[in-house]
């Protein structure tokens, strides 16, 4: 007969969170994964987005702006925009998967000083993505999302903390 000598250890998001919550390399790798997923989300979202989804995304941007005006670091505003975009796919598996990844990133990135100092730039990217989505311009929306996540990788890489 055949015997399995040892099992391969499966690395999942929970193990990543426990082992390397403040590991910059892992955080960048997670954002690279987000880039793949979130540009794909745009393809689905543009085709399935309804008026309520558009309003929700607009409200996320509004809340982000209000937080900046109050001088509050509104990291939840960033999270809510990306989550609302994922929800606009109406794909429950994708939404659940996205939530796991984004919560992991959120818990790490809020400690990155360079991100907090440059947070206003995230709002500009969100507005560009949103406006492209309203026009149903997948190419432009994907480009803005890629630029946004590349910017985030750069901010994290350059952080001195």
What's the confidence (pLDDT) of residue 11?
52
Q: Which two tokens stand for residue 65?
A: 């702006």
Q: Which of 6-10, 24-28, 80-84 has the lowest mean pLDDT?
A: 6-10
- The distance between the two most distant Cα atoms of the chain, rounded to a whole number of Å, is 69
What's the confidence (pLDDT) of residue 35?
93
- Binned at pLDDT 50, 70 and 90, residue 8 comes out as very low
pTM of the model: 0.82
Of 17, 5, 32, give the one whose Cα is nearest residue 103. Answer: 17
CB 17, CB 90: distance < 8 Å: no
Higher model confidence: residue 9 or residue 119? 119
pLDDT > 60? residue 74: no
Distance, in Å, from the CA atom of 41 to the CA atom of 8, rounded to the nearest integer, reads 31
pLDDT > 80? residue 115: no
């Amino acid at each position: 007969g055949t015997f399995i000598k040892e099992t391969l250890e499966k690395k999942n998001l929970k193990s990543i969170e426990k082992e390397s919550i403040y590991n910059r390399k892992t955080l960048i790798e997670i954002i690279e994964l987000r880039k793949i997923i979130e540009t794909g989300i745009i393809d689905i979202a543009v085709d399935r987005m309804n008026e309520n989804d558009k309003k929700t995304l607009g409200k996320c941007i509004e809340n982000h702006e209000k937080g900046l005006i109050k001088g509050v670091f509104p990291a939840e505003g960033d999270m809510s925009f990306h989550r609302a975009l994922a929800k606009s796919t109406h794909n429950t598996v994708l939404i659940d998967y996205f939530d796991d990844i984004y919560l992991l990133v959120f818990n790490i990135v809020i400690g990155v000083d360079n991100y907090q100092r440059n947070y206003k730039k995230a709002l500009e990217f969100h507005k560009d993505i949103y406006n492209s989505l309203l026009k149903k311009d997948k190419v432009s929306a994907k480009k803005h999302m890629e630029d946004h996540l590349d910017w985030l990788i750069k901010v994290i890489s350059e952080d001195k903390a």
